[in-house]
Amino acid sequence: MTSAVTTDKSARPGYGQLLRTPGALGFVLPGFAARLPFGMLTISILLLVQHTTGSYGSAGIVAAVTGISMALFAPVMGKLIDRRGQSAVLVPAALTHAAAVSSLVAFALLGAPVWALALAAVPAGASVPQVGPMVRSRWAARLEGSPLLPTAAAFESVTDEFTFVVGPVLATALCTGVHPAAGLATEAALTLIGGLLFAAQRATQPKPVARPAHGEKHASALSFHGLRVLIVAFIGIGAVFGGMQVSLAAFSEEIGNPGANGLLYGVFAAGNMIAGIACGAVAWKIGPRRRLILGYIGLTAAASVLWAADSMILLGALGLVVGLCIAPALITGYTMVEQLIPATSRTEAFTWLTGAVAFGQAGAVTLAGRLTDAHGSSYGFLVPLVATVLALAILLALRAKLAPKAPSRIVSSSKPAASKAPSTGVNERGLGHRVPVTVD
């Protein structure tokens, strides 16, 4: 299961070496196609419902219901994936999602009331295929014990952010230049096609977890304290995404250039992607817990000045800085799952974090939508500020929960813990020698 990887002390594992992992491209490429729609969903709903109702508040409610539904059902899907396998869950999820989004589009175009659109949004959100966590689980399975695992986490964050660069821009172009429903129609089609192609890559998917013997109950990923702390941090990150989506759209309307929304959000997401690439290229000498806290402090500081932007250039520059600060926190959080959660529950753990982002995004979309309707876009930008401040306070108060309890938790059950401590050096995740380690 674990690929052979060179662990030369002088070498820094890079993206090229990562992608040469046997079987990697077979799931990376279709995985990207299946994840691109995730960056299109919320903004497409916002633009369609705002067009049909004339209210960002109403559009925010429908988008929020979608996000909350996804946040609640993503961990359920993750647990099913761990038990039954990725393909067995992904195929029906992709089919259901395409049908649910099509129904939501039909209701919106027929002028259905907001409550009906919100009801239609429930299955659309609940059925979002959790392709990102599935890809991360494949990397974790193939790179267990490898110094390439942090590089894989960075690569996945870059891939996620690339979808948030391309997705909103594509959705905005389709909704404003083709038809208000074109964004959601494209999202449904890409989800279906990409999901089926990814599900067909069965050779690299992790094996389903065997049922516990002798009546033992399998521990949920949520039972681990560290994951609960990470969930709070990721809710704050999701609030940044949601607040930015609504407030940037409202700002673009205020300046009389609706098409600028896609450009502004693309600059914000591009900053995130650039920082993600840089994070993957750096051989860190500080521990992940400290990196997470420092990254979150930077994110909070950057989000605190968005409300003051009064020009497109200034807002674009500030959005770029916010994007640059998100990636370090996201990448580190996902990487820490490997040291905090057993392999038998990692897909579920990844879906909890994905769901936390969606939940934060949903709440921010609702609040920012109401604030922008009542007071303008500058008030909508207060939502990311408040959310990150609260999340940072909790993160600092509970940072001790992010320390791994025991090395055995990240060692495969088939390998004794003693084998993980060769004289050549082991880093703080037990992944082999990458850099001299400074423990936080």
* In contact, 209 and 118? CB cutoff 8 Å: no
pLDDT at residue 419 is higher than 50: no
Higher pLDDT, 14 or 242: 242
CA–CA distances in Å: residue 92 to residues 106, 166, 207, 257: 21, 26, 19, 40
279-331: pLDDT as tens digits: 766 666 777 788 888 889 999 998 888 887 878 888 888 889 988 888 888 88
User: CA 62, CA 115: separation in Å to the nearest integer?
Assistant: 8
User: Residue 401: what are its φ and ψ, rounded to 5°?
Assistant: -70, -15
Instruction: Kindly report the number of other CB atoms within 10 A of residue 440's CB atom.
Output: 15
Share of the chain above pLDDT 90, in %: 20
Give me the helix-helix angle, 346-375 and 38-53, nearest 10°: 30
* pLDDT level of residue 415 (50, 70, 90 thresholds): very low
CA–CA distances in Å: residue 25 to residues 15, 82, 198, 278, 329: 12, 22, 11, 21, 26
Give the long-range contacts of residues 102-110, CB within 8 A, separation 24 or more.
Answer: 102/185, 102/188, 104/45, 104/184, 105/48, 105/181, 105/184, 105/185, 105/188, 108/48, 108/49, 108/52, 108/181, 109/52, 109/181
Residues 160, 166, 268, CA angle at the centre, nearest 5°? 75
**So what's the pLDDT on residue 30?**
86
At 383, list the tokens. Answer: 């939502």
User: 50: Cβ–Cβ under 8 A, 6 or more apart, which residues?
Assistant: 56, 58, 59, 249
**So what's the pLDDT on residue 13?**
62
**So what's the pLDDT on residue 280?**
66
pLDDT at residue 207 is higher than 70: yes
pLDDT at residue 10 is higher than 90: no
Q: Residue 279: which of 27, 13, 31, 36 has the closest Cα?
A: 13
**So what's the pLDDT on residue 404?**
67
* pLDDT level of residue 209 (50, 70, 90 thresholds): low
Higher pLDDT, 172 or 415: 172
pLDDT at residue 271 is higher than 60: yes
102-132: pLDDT as tens digits: 999 999 999 899 999 999 999 999 999 988 8
Higher pLDDT, 39 or 80: 80
Q: Average model confidence (pLDDT) for the chain? A: 79
User: CA 268, CA 238: separation in Å to the nearest integer?
Assistant: 14
328-371: pLDDT as tens digits: 888 888 878 777 877 777 778 888 887 888 788 878 888 888 88
User: 400: Cβ–Cβ under 8 A, 6 or more apart, which residues?
Assistant: none
Region for 215 from its dihedrals, namely left if φ exceeds 0, alpha if ψ lies in -120 to 50, beta otherwise? left
pLDDT at residue 219 is higher than 70: no
**So what's the pLDDT on residue 212?**
55
**So what's the pLDDT on residue 98?**
94
* In contact, 359 and 71? CB cutoff 8 Å: yes
User: 107: Cβ–Cβ under 8 A, 6 or more apart, which residues?
Assistant: 116, 117, 120
pLDDT at residue 438 is higher than 70: no
The whole-number average pLDDT for the span 167-195 is: 89
Question: What DSSP state is assigned to residue 146?
Answer: -
